[in-house]
Structure 1
Amino acid sequence: MHGKGSNTRLSTMSSRSRIPTLLLFMFSTFASIYVAGRLWQDSQNRVYLIKELDRITGLGKTAISVDDTLKIIACREQHKKLSALEMELAAARQEGFASSRSTGANEITSKKRPLVVIGIFTRFGRRNNRDAIRKAWMGTGAALKKMENNKGIVARFVIGRSANRGDSSDKSVDIESRQNNDFIILDNHVEADEELPKKTKLFFAHAADKWDAEFYAKVNDDVYVNIDALGTTLATHLDKPRVYIGCMKSGEVFSEPNHKWYEPDWWKFGDKKSYFRHASGELYVISQALAKFISINRSILRTYAHDDVSAGSWSYMCRCLI
């Protein structure tokens, strides 16, 4: 009897000890499956990022910077939002943009949609440059209006405000603006060379909100534009929803703080020696979808030391959704 009781207790204790062991085994199994799944997902993300960067840059390199990774991930997150926007744009095109623009019973067709809105980036103390552009290709008064109505080209000088708000620089621009009515004054932007990338972002966002154009262009105030050639070129791209046009370059990334073109975020670019391909800052054009993308995401889009690099990163960020 004593032997049987002992055997029974031993059997019970053995059974109890196997239960925690079984639970531990099951937990370990599930944990292994979870970790393996996460590792597989991470590997899939890496493969996806590498393929995307190879496709976008055409460089065939597998080095991925932190910022490029964030851009690609953000692209995925923005996919639904941009797709919905493009569906709305397509529906609007089918309606001829007439429903919300008709102003009277006698109006047969809606106001013609602008082909391009050109922002001519200027600064304080450059009145001579602006007057030269007005005489050369932009026009004033009736001539400026004729270019808008007949060719669908809207041109405006873009400038911010003085750091000393309301000083003589601000007053001078206000007077010039009232005289010519050809300015976009960014009241919430302080005019400074180092703030040019932010100024560029604000311009595209403002222009996309104000004008329902096919394209939006950034031009420096020392560039003379052949309006007819620009219009002809852009007309060939009307069937492309995400266009980014300009004189493409890569350019060296400078990591020395005392260099004129110093890039504080130099370490975020693939080989830390050259930028991804982007349009030179003198003149470049983006399509409406890209401008809307900038407008919608203006609060989160990163700016770099230079406006052309910044605009290129925004364009690639949107275009990688194709």
Structure 2
Amino acid sequence: MHSRASSNRLSASAFRSRISLLLLSMFATMASLYVAGRLWQDAQNRVYLINELDRRTGQGQSAISVDDTLKIITCREQHKKFAALEVELSKAREEGFVSKHSSENSGARTKKKILAVIGIITKFGRKKNRDAIRKAWMPTGAALKKLQDEKGIIVRFVIGRSANRGDSMDREIDNENGQTNDFIILNDHIEAPEEQPKKTKLFFIHVVEHWDAEFYAKVNDDVYVNIDALGATLASHLDKPRLYIGCMKSGEVFSEPTHRWYEPDWWKFGDGKSYFRHASGEIYAISNALAQFISINRSILRTYAHDDVSAGSWFIGLDVKYVDEGKFCCSSWSSGSICAAV
């Protein structure tokens, strides 16, 4: 009897052990399927977001989330770094440091990286300002191309179209551009004083879609710029992927309609009526990632009465490196300034 009871207990114990192993195996299988499913779902999500980025950037539809936008931009920045490494590898092959057996598959050499695209925001009836800039600091003709090829800096005047499309004002700009070839003409933008903030947004959208540069700078057409100093300053910040650099300020929000700097949306800035931090509109620059952010989210980024305030509002809440650079304060006349307002 004792032997039979012991045998029964052993059988029951073995049975429970087999049940436990079976349950553990089922749990492990389910866990593996769950993890694999989540990984596959994440991969699908990443593909979907990248496709959405390409589609929305090209068509200007409603934007994806801010977090997803920044993740995709970061991913693209990594791809750019890989591309740069491939260029270095190609150069090493040419110089004999690496075997040339695969050089045939390396493709054409990448052109010199563009450091900055500078857009000079101008208007109808400001040809004298433009000619003064061409004489003072903006190269013309072959020298303009040389600036791009040797220093990686592109400079263009930026203007929209007349409300009466094709009128004398439009023709004057077309004729001037035919002679100088130094304009970015925003065909979908109607020139008007109150549309200046939208024009600035369209400028960043246009340049980031046409030139892959490290930085994009906005300049007014009554500002003189030391291009070499600007290029050197921007080059010193290449390690900052989301850079917003300029003469930073805040200041009072004016609610009186008769005031020069009247802000119709003054009530949105709280009881203190004080602007958030933003760069002076005379000249400022943003990095490639921030320009991409503007392009992707164009439909949800609102504008205020002033273009400098509008630009500052687009970066609120983002992981942005604000650089308050005294050299960008054009009215200070400080030593080493890169600009001067006239």
TM over 0.5: yes
**Which residue of the partner structure matches residue 155 of structure 2?**
155
Question: 1:95, CA displacement in angstroms?
Answer: 1.7
Kept after mapping to 2: 8 A contact 1:293/1:318: no
Q: Distance in 2 between matches of 1:176 and 1:287?
A: 30
> Which of 82, 88, 93 is matched with 2:70 structurally?
82
**Which residue of the partner structure matches residue 41 of structure 1?**
none
1:243 and 2:231 matched: no
Question: 1:236, CA displacement in angstroms?
Answer: 1.1
Distance 1:229 1:321, change over 3 A: closer
Match of 1:318, SS state, is coil
Segments of 5+ residues of structure 1 without an aligned counterpart are: 1-74
Q: Distance in 2 between matches of 1:230 and 1:112?
A: 18
Match of 1:138, SS state, is coil
**Which residue of the partner structure matches residue 257 of structure 2?**
257
Kept after mapping to 2: 8 A contact 1:158/1:186: yes
Question: 1:164, CA displacement in angstroms?
Answer: 1.2
Q: Distance in 1 between matches of 2:271 and 2:109?
A: 53
Q: Distance in 2 between matches of 1:319 and 1:179?
A: 43
Q: Distance in 2 between matches of 1:311 and 1:301?
A: 9
Letter in 1 for 2:186: L
Kept after mapping to 2: 8 A contact 1:118/1:154: yes
Q: Distance in 1 between matches of 2:235 and 2:150?
A: 14
Letter in 2 for 1:192: A
Q: Distance in 1 between matches of 2:166 and 2:108?
A: 45
Question: 1:317, CA displacement in angstroms?
Answer: 4.4
Letter in 1 for 2:158: V
Same amino acid, percent of matched pairs: 67
Segments of 5+ residues of structure 2 without an aligned counterpart are: 1-62, 91-102, 323-342
**Which residue of the partner structure matches residue 316 of structure 1?**
316
Q: Distance in 2 between matches of 1:116 and 1:163?
A: 31
**Which residue of the partner structure matches residue 288 of structure 1?**
288
Question: 1:192, CA displacement in angstroms?
Answer: 0.9
1:91 and 2:98 matched: no
Letter in 2 for 1:125: G
Match of 1:160, SS state, is strand
1:218 and 2:206 matched: no
Q: Distance in 2 between matches of 1:321 and 1:244?
A: 6
Letter in 1 for 2:81: R
1:207 and 2:231 matched: no
Kept after mapping to 2: 8 A contact 1:266/1:272: no
| Count of residues paired in the alignment | 245
Kept after mapping to 1: 8 A contact 2:69/2:296: no
Letter in 1 for 2:256: E
Match of 2:137, SS state, is helix
Q: Distance in 2 between matches of 1:88 and 1:120?
A: 28
- Give the TM-score taking structure 2 as reference length: 0.67
Match of 2:247, SS state, is strand
Letter in 2 for 1:289: A
Q: Distance in 2 between matches of 1:271 and 1:278?
A: 19
Q: Distance in 1 between matches of 2:176 and 2:158?
A: 13
Question: 1:319, CA displacement in angstroms?
Answer: 3.1
Cα deviation, 1:40-74, whole Å, max 9, x if unaligned, reads xxxxxxxxxxxxxxxxxxxxxxxxxxxxxxxxxxx
Letter in 1 for 2:143: A
Cα deviation, 1:99-118, whole Å, max 9, x if unaligned, reads 8xx9x979763101210100
**Which residue of the partner structure matches residue 124 of structure 1?**
124
RMSD of the TM alignment (CA)? 2.5
Cα deviation, 1:198-247, whole Å, max 9, x if unaligned, reads 00000000001000000000000111111111111111110101100111
Match of 1:95, SS state, is helix
**Which residue of the partner structure matches residue 230 of structure 1?**
230
1:267 and 2:255 matched: no
Q: Distance in 2 between matches of 1:186 and 1:94?
A: 33
Letter in 1 for 2:109: T
- Give the TM-score taking structure 1 as reference length: 0.72
Question: 1:76, CA displacement in angstroms?
Answer: 11
